[in-house]
Amino acid sequence: MQPSPARDLVVGLFVLAGLAALAYLSIQVGGMSYTGPGGLRLYATFEEVGGLRPRSPIAIAGVKVGQVAAIDLDPELRARVALDVDPKLRLPVDSSARIMTSGLLGDQFVALEPGAEEEVLTNGSEIDFTESAISLEGLIGKFVNPAGLDEKKPAEPE
C-alpha cells in the first residue's frame, strides 16, 4: 500500500481522539487531578471514621475539593486519614476537619472548616482539630435503650 497523507491524517486524528478519551477518563472522571505530583497531602486523626473509605470526597462548605487517599491505624489505635486536596487551596493552620454524612443515610465525607490564622497548611502537615463521625447506630441504640441496658447483662440470680 502506498503512503497516503489523508489516511495518515485520519489515523493521527483517531489516536488523538483515543488519547483524549483516556485522558478525560483518567484525570476528570478518575480524579487524578488531586493526586498527581505537586498535590497537597494533609493528615487528620479521628477517634472514629465510621463509614469513611478511601476516595470519599472532601468538601469545604459543600464544594468538593479533594478525596480521602488512605485510612490507617496510628500507634495509639486511632484512625489516621490521609487527605488529598486541591493544591491551589490555602487553608489556615487552625482549620478543622469533621466527618459528616450527606443526608440521613448517605455516604460519609470529610468537611473542612477553614480557620482564621495567617499561616497556611503545607504539604504533609497535620490538621489538629478534628471531630469524629457520628455513629447513627449508636444514636439509635441510645434512643431505643436509654438506660444503657444491653444483651450482655449478667444473669439474674434466682
CB of 17 vs another protein, minimal distance in Å: 6
Query: Count of CB atoms within 10 A of residue 153's CB?
Result: 8
Question: Please, which residue, 37 or 157, has the CB nearer to another protein?
Answer: 37
Q: What span, in angstroms and rounded, lies between the C-alpha atoms of 68 and 107? A: 13
CB of 46 closer than 8 Å to CB of 65:
no
CB of 87 vs another protein, minimal distance in Å: 17
CB of 55 vs another protein, minimal distance in Å: 5
CB of 106 vs another protein, minimal distance in Å: 9
Question: Please, which residue, 9 or 117, has the CB nearer to another protein?
Answer: 9
Question: Please, which residue, 77 or 105, has the CB nearer to another protein?
Answer: 105
Question: Please, which residue, 20 or 140, has the CB nearer to another protein?
Answer: 20
CB of 58 closer than 8 Å to CB of 66:
yes
Applying CB under 8 A, the residues found at the interface with another protein are: 1, 3, 7-8, 10-11, 14-15, 17-19, 21-22, 24-26, 28-32, 35, 55, 57, 64, 67
Question: Please, which residue, 16 or 140, has the CB nearer to another protein?
Answer: 16
CB of 71 closer than 8 Å to CB of 55:
no
Query: Count of CB atoms within 10 A of residue 36's CB?
Result: 10
Query: Count of CB atoms within 10 A of residue 52's CB?
Result: 21
CB of 12 vs another protein, minimal distance in Å: 9
Q: Which residues, listed in sequence order, are joined to residue 87 by a DSSP beta bridge?
A: none
**Comparing C-alpha atoms, which of 107, 64, 116 is closest to residue 85?**
64
